[in-house]
Amino acid sequence: MQFNSIPFLFFLLCVVPLYYLVPQKHKNVFLLICSYYFYFCAKPEYLILLLASTAVNYLSACLLERGNAKRVVLYFSLLFNIGLLFGFKYLNFFNGQLNYVFQQFRLDIHIPAFSIILPVGISFYTFMAIGYLLDIYWGDRRRDRNYVLFSLYLAFFPQILCGPIGRAKELIPQFVAKSVFKYDNFSNGFRLMLWGLFKKIVVADNLGVYVDAVFNNASRHSTLTVIVATFLYAFQLYADFSGYTDVARGIARLFGIKLMVNFRTPYVNSTSVTDYWNRNHISLTSWFRDYVYYPFIGTNTGRLKRYAGILLMFLLSGIWHGAGWMFITWGLIQAIYLVVEDLLHIGKKKNVTWAARSFNQLSTFILVSIGLLFFRLPTMADLCTVARVIAGNSWDLYTGGRALVFAAIGLFCVMLLDRFMDKKQFDEYIGGKPLAARWACYLTLTMMIFLVGNIDGQAFIYFQF
Amino acid sequence: MDKPLFTFNSDVFRVIAKLFFWLAVVYLLNVIFYLAISNCYLRLSGGVSGAKISATIRQKHDVFIFGASRGLRHYNSGIISNYTGLSVYNAADDGKSPAYQLGLLTLLLEQHKPRAVIYEVGDIMSVLARGDVDLYPYYYSNKDVRLLLNKKDPFSYIKFRFKTYAYNQRIFTGIRGLLPGKKTADDGYRPLYGCIKDKDKIEYRDGFEGPDDFSRSGTDTSMIENFRQFISVCESNQIQVIFAFSPTLTGYHATCERLIRSIALEKKIPFFDYSSDMRFKGNRKLFKDVNHLNDEGATLFSNDIGEKLKKLFADRTKDANN
């Protein structure tokens, strides 16, 4: 069930009214059942995996709190969670690398590839579980006595498939608090959902038509076309993932739950790649900061150690995104950007001129877009093809038909609003406008979805992670 | 006394009222936009990209060419018409699936019955998995189109409740219908210009690509059924069907060519196969890209097939007279 599908609309239409009809003490059980049903619809057999992961992690949390052999329990639980990720996400990649090594040494050994379909959302709920266990281990929070609360923390349906990677200290108290039907929750929820769907259906899916047409056949396109597609992919990924997050946050608001903010207008307001990472996929970046960087590197450390921390954090981020050298290289590139920026003090100056700020924003966008080529292209051979085309000298532009025109209109709206919103979210920003402006905005967005949206478009890109 | 499960407070009323208001306004705007765009769109009679269906069903020609991009770019209607002495219209369009061809045929038959149709079969394999069924504007007016679209998407009957869905992404096409300019009927042929550069690497292939494996992922087997149904509709309306596989640069054979050949044999449908014609194979000057002839190549091909069609139609007329 995709957020932008008819079955999900029916699911939501049933779940929301029932949630408010269910007595307070059963609300979380109801929400958990609905979340499991939602996940069951994605792929029934992987619900068993989620249930097993929940049980093992809860048991680990219980043992961690008892205080006996805490470190052993932590290592076991981390091994379990990382083992799950490894088994389902990285095993075939690892086997492939081993086969390559065997081949180089002319050993007659071949490990067959396993037929494994990546369980949707495994990277997200596994990280949430690891975060929860580490919080208990460090004594930052106590284990929740209620198994349902812990299960709901991992399985809450608006965030299970693609995040944001929530924190127990923020989410669980909201599940515990008395849930009351509030107008504000609904108005803000619908605003976020509408804005998210607009970004997904009008911008991301229309851009996807162009980007796919170019990158699926890069050698047949011109230099200019491939350069344009490179930049448009950056916008597509942003519109797709931030669109998903907005819809997820909007749905959660319908139940009175505030999910973590995941994007703060990264493309139009970032003045450096460091700034970009403070604004883009915040839940993952902050997770790595809190559970990898600080524990391993600390806060007041030397430059070299800091750089090692950045490298570790982004290499892990690359691996988290997918099993492949392209993702690892992407992580490495991000780390290099950040280290170089730190060395050259880029983006640290205050009170810069408008021109300097604009230049920084543009160069940040270009650097990020180039890095994202490693994200988009499946193999190094594809990247070489794209590089060859870019190094060429053909300047006729593939226009891509009507989808690109519609995407451009939508993208202009998104970037314009992002520019004005800066660190605010859409619901906060539009909520402060006069009634007529608000309704004009809602109706324009809705009609644009109907008229120019790619309604029968693609799945969310981050489902593959 | 037990507390009520849920109290209908003013917030609930506000949310429901505003949701209904939003839905009502959206529905109204949908109807207004639908009427405005459909009025413009259905006026289009050709010369505007994206309006091929409305242009096609207005034509009263003897011969229609069906297919996807190769059909559209390879068949010069004027040349074929000169040879055969029959009026020819190129109804093919980029990326269109066999379901679209079937829908278009049923829409055409509501207005006019052609004498023959030429089906470019070289397109079929490429559009089986992802070819579109771009017949949305006719959802409300044609039962067969409605069936085809409902079969393609089980939720289409809900989506079409909002009428602008029928013109989703067609707003500019509709607006162009209002603007002055070339909107008169043409022959439907859309040539490509330029040719493949010498430095571009081409992989030449001989023989079949693989078995007729339609169960492979991504291939919509119902499209084969639509293809068969297209032939049945032609048969029942006594329209002569002709298969043609226009030239390819690499000697490409569609995976489903064996199936097409067997249908041709079974139904006694003439099949003109140029896929490995040595006049075209490997001749970069005649191609815009690997799959498409340029105008020069299309002219050469149209002259050749025009000659063959002339003979075919003459033989058929002779047979009919006898």
Within 8 A of B162 by CB-CB distance, chain A residues are 450
Closest CA to B249 of B274, B283, B294: B283
Tell me if chain A has a CB within 8 Å of the CB of B168: yes
pLDDT band, very low/low/confident/very high, at A433 (cuts 50, 70, 90): very high
- pLDDT of B209 reads 45
Whether residue B216 has pLDDT greater than 60:
no
Q: How far does the CA of residue A131 sit from the closest CA of chain B (Å)?
A: 36
In Å, how far is B6's CA from the nearest CA of chain A? 6
Q: What is the pLDDT of residues B230-261, one digit of tens each?
A: 999 999 999 999 999 999 887 765 566 777 88
Q: Could you tell me if the ipTM is greater than 0.90?
A: no
Q: Is A241 within the bounds of a domain?
A: yes
Chain B residues touching residue A182 (CB < 8 angstroms): 11
A236 and A130, same domain (yes or no): no
Record: contact B26-A23, CB cut-off 8 A: no
- Cβ(A429)–Cβ(A421) below 8 Å: yes
| Residue B196 pLDDT exceeds 50 | yes
Based on the fold, state whether residues A88 and A138 are members of the same structural domain. yes
pLDDT exceeds cutoff 60 at B219: no
pLDDT of residue B1: 47
Cβ count near B308 (within 10 Å):
16
B166-192 confidence digits (pLDDT tens): 888 888 877 776 676 655 557 888 899
A191 & A93 share domain: no
Task: Single out the residue in A178, A196, A220 at which a domain terminates.
Answer: A178
Residues A128 and A166 in one domain: yes
Q: How would residue B127 be classed by pLDDT, with cut points 50, 70 and 90?
A: low
Judge: A183–B14 Cβ closer than 8 Å, yes or no: yes
Q: What is the DSSP secondary structure assignment for residue B47, as one 8-state letter?
A: S
Q: Which of A130, A147, A178 is the last residue of a domain?
A: A178
The answer to whether residues A58 and A111 belong to one domain is yes
Measured over the CA atoms of residue A257, residue A260, residue A263 and residue A269, the dihedral's sign is positive
Residue B155, chain A, CB below 8 Å: the answer is yes
In a domain, A320, yes or no: no
A396 and A248 part of one domain: yes
Chain A residues whose CB is inside 8 A of the B33 CB are 447, 450-451
Q: In this structure, which amino acid lies at residue A115?
A: S
Q: Does A359 touch chain B (CB under 8 A)?
A: no
Q: What is the pLDDT of residue B89?
A: 94
- Position B207 scores a pLDDT of 45
Q: In this structure, are A141 and A261 located in the same domain?
A: no
Q: Smallest Cα–Cα separation from A239: which of A412, A375, A437?
A: A412
From A406, which residue of chain B is nearest by alpha-carbon distance? B169
Q: Which amino acid is at B73?
A: R
| Chain B environment of A403 (Cβ under 8 Å) | 169
Q: Do A182 and B11 touch (CB under 8 A)?
A: yes
Q: Is residue A310 part of a domain?
A: no
**Interchain contact, B5 vs A23, CB within 8 Å:** yes
pLDDT of residue B244: 93
CA-based nearest distance B235→chain A, Å: 34
How sure is the predictor about B114, in pLDDT bands with cuts at 50, 70 and 90? Answer: very high
Q: Can you give the pLDDT at residue B54?
A: 82
Pair (A173, A143) in one structural domain:
yes
Same-domain status, A352 and A398: yes
Do A54 and A198 share a domain, yes or no?
Answer: no
Which of B10, B11, B33 would best serve as a mutation to test chain A binding (most A beta carbons within 10 A)? B11
- The answer to the question of residue A248 being in a domain is yes
pTM: 0.88
* Within-domain flag for A332: no
Domain membership of residue A44 as a residue range: 6-178
pLDDT single digits (tens) A89-109: 888 888 888 888 998 888 888
Residue A58: how many other CB atoms lie within 10 Å: 19
Q: How many residues does chain B have?
A: 322
Residue B131 confidence (pLDDT): 59
Q: Which residues 6+ apart lie within 8 Å of A199 measured at CB?
A: A239, A240, A242, A243, A246, A410, A414
Average pLDDT, chain A: 91
Give the closest of A405, A443, A455 to B165, CB-based. A455
Show Cβ contacts of residue A356 under 8 Å, excluding neighbours closer than 6 positions.
Answer: none
Listed residues A122, A145, A178: the one ending a domain: A178
Choice between B117 and A421, residue whose per-residue pLDDT is larger: B117
Query: Phi-psi region for residue A139, left (φ > 0), alpha (ψ -120 to 50) or beta?
Result: left
Does A331 map to a domain? no
Mutation target to probe the A interface, by most A beta carbons within 10 A, among B7, B8, B33, B169 is: B169
CB contact under 8 A, A455 and B167: no
Shortest Cα–Cα distance, B259 to chain A (Å): 28
Give which of B168, B203, B217, B287 to mutate to test A binding, by max A Cβ within 10 Å.
Answer: B168
Q: Does B33 touch chain A (CB under 8 A)?
A: yes
By CA distance, what is A441's nearest residue in B? B22
- The structural domain count of chain A equals 2
Contact A370, A273 (CB under 8 A): no
Overall average pLDDT of the B52-62 stretch: 86
The answer to whether residues A87 and A215 belong to one domain is no
Of A26, A110, A221, A321, the catalytic one is A321
Q: A442 touching B, CB under 8 A? A: yes
Minimal Cα–Cα distance from A278 to chain B, Å? 35
Q: Which of A8, A253, A450 should one mutate to test binding to chain B, selecting the residue with the greatest count of B CBs within 10 A?
A: A450
Alpha-carbon gap: A143 to the closest alpha carbon of chain B (Å) = 31
Residues A161-185 have pLDDT tens digits of 997 999 999 999 999 998 889 999 9
Q: Name the more confident of B256 and A44.
A: A44
Is A451 close to B11, i.e. CB distance below 8 A?
no
Closest CB from A181, A406, A442 relative to B9:
A181
Query: Would you give the DSSP letter of residue B278?
Result: T
Is residue A321 among the annotated active site residues? Answer: yes
| A72 & A197 share domain | no
Task: Please indicate, yes or no, if residue A311 is contained in any of the structural domains.
Answer: no
> Is B20 in the A-facing interface, judged by CB distances under 8 Å?
no
Tell me, yes or no, whether A290 lies in a domain: no
A-B CB pairs within 8 A amount to: 70
